[in-house]
Amino acid sequence: MTTIGILGSGQVGRTLARAAVVHGYDVVISNSRGPHTLSPLIHDLGPRARAAHAHDAAASGDLVVLAFPYAPTDRLPAEALAGKVVVDTNNYMAWRDGAITAVETGAKTIHELRQEMLPNAKVVKAFTHVQHHPPTGLGPEDVPDALPGLFRLARPRGAWDRRALAVSSDYPEAVELVSALYDELGYDAVDNSPLSESWRSAPGTPMWRHHVDGQTRAQLVANLQHAVHPSRSHRSPS
């Protein structure tokens, strides 16, 4: 893997683009407004990055990142994504995106719905519980630590305080690829597959309480196991 395509240039897309460039990857990034609007970002990222339309970014990436929320009406470059590992960084937030009945009832996870939207791609939920923006409420004394969580929490392999990130997919090869990328960026991986189990790392679950400062691999494993499925959490006490 040498090139990462990124669809979306908000905080998630920009932060992952910076991380990829730092670690020697080429980046092709797109947004909904057109490549010309990304000139300042590309200048900042340097020669390893270029802007493109969504189809070109999808076609160019050995791995492709979807850095925007899910919507049932999304029109994605499905042909360009066919056969590729597609990282879905989205978290389901009904207050932001509107309620989706299948997710609210626990019948489907938001990432299963994305997989259905891209039946020939290998969708993997990743990078969803690490912050892609600096911590809020910083004073001048905190400026040295004013980095997005993805950078601030990274640790070398074997460090006693290394954090872990969950990864979920219906494709073992996608889990393997993303786990290797996690390791390269400074994180252990916890396989929380398949996509039907990805609700365990959704906002509001036990592991989510640690998304600001992270958690070790053992802590993440335990927190994933302690999650309560939405279909049960919505029941009234008997």
> Can you list the domains of the chain with their CATH numbers?
69-232 (3.40.50)
pLDDT above 80 for 237 = no
Amino acid 236: pLDDT:
41
Q: Look up residue 84 and give its two tokens.
A: 């590729």
Distance of CA 8 to the CA centre of its chain: 12
CB of 216 within 8 A of CB of 210?
no
Amino acid 141: pLDDT:
47
Amino acid 140: pLDDT:
44
Least confident of 123-137, 154-168, 203-217: 123-137
Q: Look up residue 218 and give its two tokens.
A: 């053992």
Q: Look up residue 197 and give its two tokens.
A: 């189990």
Residue 124 sits at φ, ψ, to 5 deg, of: -140, 130
Q: Look up residue 123 and give its two tokens.
A: 């969708």
Share the mean pLDDT of the chain: 91
Give the Cα separation of 39 and 44 in Å (integer).
Answer: 9
- Cis before 140? omega within 30: no
The radius of gyration of the chain's CA atoms, rounded to the nearest angstrom, is 18
Characterize the bridge pairing of strands 85-88 and 122-125.
parallel
pLDDT tens-digit series, residues 179-193: 999 999 999 999 999
Give the Cα separation of 7 and 117 in Å (integer).
Answer: 15
**Looking at this protein, which amino acid is placed at residue 72?**
P
CB of 150 within 8 A of CB of 130?
yes
